[in-house]
Amino acid sequence: MSVVDNSIKFGTDGWRGVIADEFTFERVALVAPVAAKVLLDTYGQQTGSRTIIVGYDRRFMSEEFAQKVAEVVSAAGFDVLFSEIFAPTPAFSWAAKQENALGALVITASHNPGKYSGLKVKSAFGGSVPQEVTKEIEAQLSTPVTPASKPGKIESFNPWTSYCQGLTSKVDIGKIRDAIASGKLTLFADVMHGAASGGLGMLLGDGVREINSERDPLFEGGAPEPLPKYLSKLFGVMKTHREQNPNKLTVALVFDGDSDRIAAVDGAGNFLSSQVLIPILIDHLTLRRGFTGEIVKTVSGSDLMPLVAKLHNLEMFETPVGYKYIADRMLDAKVLLGGEESGGIGYGSHIPERDALLSALYVLEAMVDSGLDLGEYYRELQTKTGFDSAYDRIDLPLASMEVRAKLLTQLQQEPLKEIAGQAVISCQTIDGYKYRLADQRWLMIRFSGTEPVLRLYCEAATLEDVHSTLAWAKQWAEK
């Protein structure tokens, strides 16, 4: 048993593993009741509850893994609200708070390739549990939970109902629906075969043009991650539409596998990551909705974010990479918006959880209210702030964890003084190593905590500068 215990480790947002290798029914049956017990220890007193929400995405055997979770959690004496259908992870976080539950256990591997599954643990307050909670789950795995003398009951529920009601209460849905119905706005949605499927249709009606709606546990051989390399079909659809409908206000919104990450493609066919969407959302929510509060960004976020925040006299708070750090801040301060460069965006007026469908609605509201294509909106913000930039990121596989350790030691003992021909002005170490260079470009070098992967991030004045800097970093890592 101890071998199994030691191999189950929670990352920044849950436990993930290869199906039938690390992620098995036996291990799920071990982890789930322990997670439920720790949720009880953590949130039982404040909620007075013994209910656990159990949900799942559209991956291979997700329903069966979730059924196992429901069974073993019930056997341990907890009541279970078991989803009758796949849904976005934020819908289960929402349900945990709305139902005054101890939390939620969600079968999903988010944006990972199809061979993976996973388990996310959500809190009673509707966000990811703090790291102390997942550490406690790991610590208690060597002492499996014994079945209760009286099992809890299992009841089914539809998570979409309350979730969609909650979203529509936060946005001018009628205005967006009218824009789509009248032809003023054309909306495509690439759900990447994931749990967002049907979501925008439920919220906005029949005018949503959804692609990759069908279930495909292999994700066409790729991954349900909103990155350009996985969006060739969408780019083709957008190109055809643009040729047939020039000068039409058009957007495509892209959702990851469990619908907590978002990206977009503008009317001109340009990919827009959350590095672009977050500044637009900050501007829209303050300018037209009158929202106030702190802006929270991760250290890998664009320099445009604080500049737009400054335009509206908003404070900025910076965290390490990982949405859990943003969620923690949301519990301690009045936050307008918190976002990370990988696509996770959340709102202080909602649950402390990244939510791609709510972000999608706010993006659409910004377009309808401004009458601007997203690319035009972004360029206007660049003009207002006097800041032009480009951004990219690469994940570089390393040969082994030993190579990872060697590179980390090198960075610690031999600080970089020059990068891509530019002098290093400063180095920030809140998470990894973020080097600001003489011409104000920045390069961030960050190691995965669980696998031999080096993450390289760069923002610079031009895409050429970005790519030359990333190429330098890649060459440095491989020498």
In degrees rounded to 5, what are phi and psi of residue 276? -90, -45
| Cα gap 441→132, rounded to integer Å | 35
Q: How many CB atoms lie within 10 A of CB 7?
A: 11
Per CATH, the homologous superfamily of domain 170-385 is: Alpha-D-Glucose-1,6-Bisphosphate, subunit A, domain 3 (3.40.120.10)
Strands 103-107 and 116-122: antiparallel
Q: Please, what is the Cα angle at 272 between 426 and 86, to 5 degrees? A: 115
The three-class DSSP label of residue 254 is: strand
Q: Is 160 left (phi over 0), alpha (psi -120 to 50) or beta?
A: alpha
| Beta carbons within 8 Å of 379's beta carbon, 6+ residues apart | none
Q: How many CB atoms lie within 10 A of CB 209?
A: 17
* Cα dist from 299 to 139, 230, 260, 317, 468, whole Å: 30, 25, 19, 10, 21
Comma-separated ranges of CATH 3.30.310.50 domains in the chain = 390-478
Tens digit of each residue's pLDDT (9 = 90 or more) over 378-410: 999 999 999 999 999 999 999 998 999 999 999
pLDDT of residue 6: 54
For the chain, list residues with pLDDT below 70.
Answer: 1-6, 449-450
pTM of structure: 0.94
CATH classification for the domain delimited by 390-478, as one of 3.40.50.10330, 3.30.310.50, 1.10.287.10, 3.30.530.20? 3.30.310.50
Closest CA to 391 of 311, 458, 297: 458
Q: Is 379 left (phi over 0), alpha (psi -120 to 50) or beta?
A: alpha
User: Is CATH 3.40.120.10 the classification given to domain 2-159?
Assistant: yes
pLDDT of residue 144: 87
pLDDT of residue 133: 94
Comma-separated ranges of CATH 3.40.120.10 domains in the chain = 2-159, 170-385
* Cα dist from 373 to 322, 389, 448, whole Å: 30, 19, 36
pLDDT of residue 166: 97
Distance of CA 324 to the CA centre of its chain: 10
| Cα gap 258→249, rounded to integer Å | 28
Tens digit of each residue's pLDDT (9 = 90 or more) over 326-350: 998 999 999 999 999 989 999 999 9
- What separation, in Å, do the N-terminal and C-terminal C-alpha atoms of the chain show? 41
pLDDT of residue 2: 38
Strands 262-265 and 249-255: antiparallel
